[in-house]
Amino acid sequence: MGKPTGFLEYERVVSKAEAPKSRIAHFNEFHEHLPMDKQRLQGARCMECGVPFCQAGMMICGMASGCPLHNLVPEWNDLVYTGNWREAYNRLKKTNNFPEFTSRVCPALCEAACTCGLNGDPVSTKENEYAIIENAYEQGYAKANPPKVRTGKKVAIIGSGPAGLAAADQLNKRGHFVTVYERHDRVGGLLMYGIPNMKLEKRIIERKVKIMEEEGVTFVTNTDVGKDIKAAKLLAEYDRVILACGASNPREIQAPGRDAKGIYFAVDFLSRNTKSLLDSDFKDGNYVNTKGKNVIIIGGGDTGNDCVGTVIRHGCKSVTQIEMMPKAPDERAENNPWPEWPKVCKTDYGQEEAIAVFGHDPRIYESTVKEFIKDKNGNLKGVKIVQLAWEKDEKTGRMNWKEVAGSEKVLEAEIVLIAAGFLGSQKYVTDAFRVDINQRTNVATAPGGYKTNVENVFTAGDMHRGQSLVVWAIREGREAARAVGESLMGYTNMVIQ
């Protein structure tokens, strides 16, 4: 695959990002991608490694190694190198319904498992994927391709995030009539309102949704199933229903003063920000404006980083990110060997921007909130935090934390954004369909299955597996579609690699 000696001849080269102080002036994507001739050389770096861990998608020590979609990475890397862009697109689309999304927001599990990365720099697979799909749109062969035969079967999908969209795409291609219900005013779920515009411009989602509509998928927005429309009505009208509503219960932070004005869940903050941007370029004022404010973000993950990038674009006075866990090492530890996912410290775009603007990394590690401090009018004015010490329990092997005596300090803050993760599916939806849930409040199914305890009701995505990556949601949607297709027809010819 690629050029046998390509990984020795060519260095890894990736797109250039706009300088932090320049890109914070807008909410657009900010990478300048390689021209096609130079991207082809990146495809040449894919070595004939024998065992392509990049496409394995298996769990090693509780972490995914390689692509969960089992993308045929060596094949389309080779086709990029040889300039067979259309065939590269065909191979990519066999396993991935939405490379236009994953090539922008996926953390590239494929690259972390690349054999080249064992003793050097991995192949730039994510950017090869970007080049393949964007070239396909430019050349016109990523256009709509409606099914030629319809089965007459009707499927309702609740939720238009990546899992719901993947299931809809697969089932529609098989010839079933598919209707996707979305409670918000725009299609895309997490992709539309959970991920900021600078990571995934919303025209990219709208471009793909338009194609799906041309192929026959029906989208119904501003309809909250379980509230605006009864579950019984859908079960009567459709042959099958797929619940793909996400894990949208944000994790709460219980501390004195939690009722202070100025505390928001990160998902609400980001959603309102994107909606206001799209509706009016912020002219409507229907967002949480952090201009001139001291902002504290609770949570050190991707969502927390997205909040950092967003508040900096607003023009915040300061931003601090609180993280309970210790700082990860800068390089792989000996007990975290390739091809495991590398547990190393990642400085993402938001943190890069904070360093450029404020001169330091915004993250404070091994700390937690003790109290939200209010003024006499109930407005947030500060946050008391305390340092944590982690110790291993010799009996259970688990790491437990305790507060460090005398380490409390107060940080000035008018805005707090809680980005501490999610706890599972929303109760009004699961109650409406009377589906069983597990201890994590995810919809329960048999191991490896997608059918719920309710006849003709299936589930997929974060609602099924818990909060996860877009690439996992796409895989879940594809597999749920296969299960639904088989239940409808008695067999299935949907390909799930």
Chain mean position to CA 259: 30
Other Cβ atoms less than 10 A from the Cβ of 328: the count is 15
Q: Residue 394 above 60 pLDDT?
A: yes
Q: How confident is the model at residue 495 (pLDDT cuts 50, 70, 90)?
A: low
How many Å is the maximal CA-CA distance in the chain?
A: 71
Residue 1 pLDDT greater than 70, yes or no: no
What are the residues whose beta carbons fall under 8 Å from the beta carbon of 211, sequence distance 6 or more?
Answer: 142, 143, 144
| Predicted confidence (pLDDT) at residue 41 exceeds the cutoff of 60 | yes
- Phi/psi for 250 (5° steps) reads -70, 145
- For every residue of 137-151, DSSP letters joined together read HHHTTTS----S---
| Token representation of residue 411 | 């940080």
The residue whose two tokens read 């219900």 is 181
User: Domains in the chain, start-ordered, CATH in brackets?
Assistant: 6-139 (1.10.1060.10), 154-248+423-489 (3.50.50.60), 263-418 (3.50.50.60)
pLDDT for residue 497 is more than 60: no
CA torsion, ordered 186, 188, 189, 192, to nearest 10 deg: -80
In the predicted model, is pLDDT for residue 479 greater than 80? yes
pLDDT tens digits for range 58-85: 999 888 899 999 999 999 999 999 999 9
- Mean pLDDT is lowest, of 265-279, 302-316, 332-346, for 332-346
Beta strands 380-392 and 409-412 are antiparallel
Which whole-number Å values give the CA distances from 423 to 101, 224, 242, 246, 302, in the listed order? 24, 20, 20, 10, 16
User: pLDDT digits over 396-434, tens only?
Assistant: 888 889 999 999 999 999 999 999 998 889 999 999 999
